[in-house]
Chain A
Amino acid sequence: MTSNKGKRLAAVVTDGLADNGHSSEPRIDRPTQTRLGDQLRAMYDDLVNQPVPDRFKDLLDRLEKGGAPEKAR
């Protein structure tokens, strides 16, 4: 199973027939691009969905009350 997966992901198309003028750059095929995009978004969404630390709400609450903002660090 894993060997097939590797081959599929390795399908880097290098014919460079891009219509955007950047013909020297390697292009990856659409399925690879889709798979990379899915993985990237899944990883990123995992971060986005993390609970926000209280420090940010506290900071904005403090500022809203007119408290002098302390230097960030």
Chain B
Amino acid sequence: MTPEPAIRDALLAAVPSLRAFAISLCGQVDRADDLVQDTLLRALSHIDRFERGTNLHAWLFTILRNLFHSEYRKRRREVEDPDGSYAGRLKVQPEQGSRLDFEDFRSALAKLPSDQREALLLVGASGFSYEEAATICGCAVGTIKSRVNRARSRLAGMLAVDDADDLGPDSMTRAALQAIG
């Protein structure tokens, strides 16, 4: 399974998107990187099944998503997030000037059911069409639309509550930072 240079370059180019999706899905950078590595190996060993000219990204996302569900959901209790522990782990080492504002959003995203989170990430963040997302998830287009709608509604509800909470630690931190300038 020695990759042709073109395939190798295409895979490497896809890594940032795959990592973003994997980190958003499973909430842990180390585990996400293992997932991406498994995805690359699986893709290379099945590269003959990839139809040239079709969407490589969608194919890779399909593999990653299937690996996530088959291997990683066995560790469901670690991954699912009844009490917000996912959100605590989803702290990618913040770079200089990283925005604290994402914390509220990440924590709300983490509270979504995983099928809704996945649909929203594919359509709303990764730039796939509803049709592509349906292919990736192996379900009907209407199901994806419905999951995305429900995800948006839930997020809106959760973030509205958070925003109303003026005394939350995040807003205090933000206020302090803004005061510092």
A residues whose Cβ falls under 8 Å from a Cβ of B: 2-3, 5-7, 9-10, 12, 20, 22, 25-28, 32-33, 36-37, 39-44, 46-50, 52-53, 55-57, 59-60, 63-66, 69, 72-73
Contacts and interface: CB of A to CB of B under 8 A. Distances in A.
A69 B1 CA distance: 8
Interface of B: 1-3, 5, 8, 11-12, 15-17, 19-20, 23-24, 33-34, 36-38, 40-41, 44, 92, 95, 98-99, 101-102, 105-106, 109, 120-121, 124-126, 142, 145-146, 149-150, 152-153, 155-157, 159-161, 163-164, 166, 171
A44 B2 contact: no
B153 A28 contact: yes
A35 to B, nearest CB: 9
A66 B2 contact: yes
Tell me whether chain A's interface is mostly helix, strand or loop, or mixed: helix
Contacts of A36: 124, 152, 155-156, 159
A20 to B, nearest CB: 7
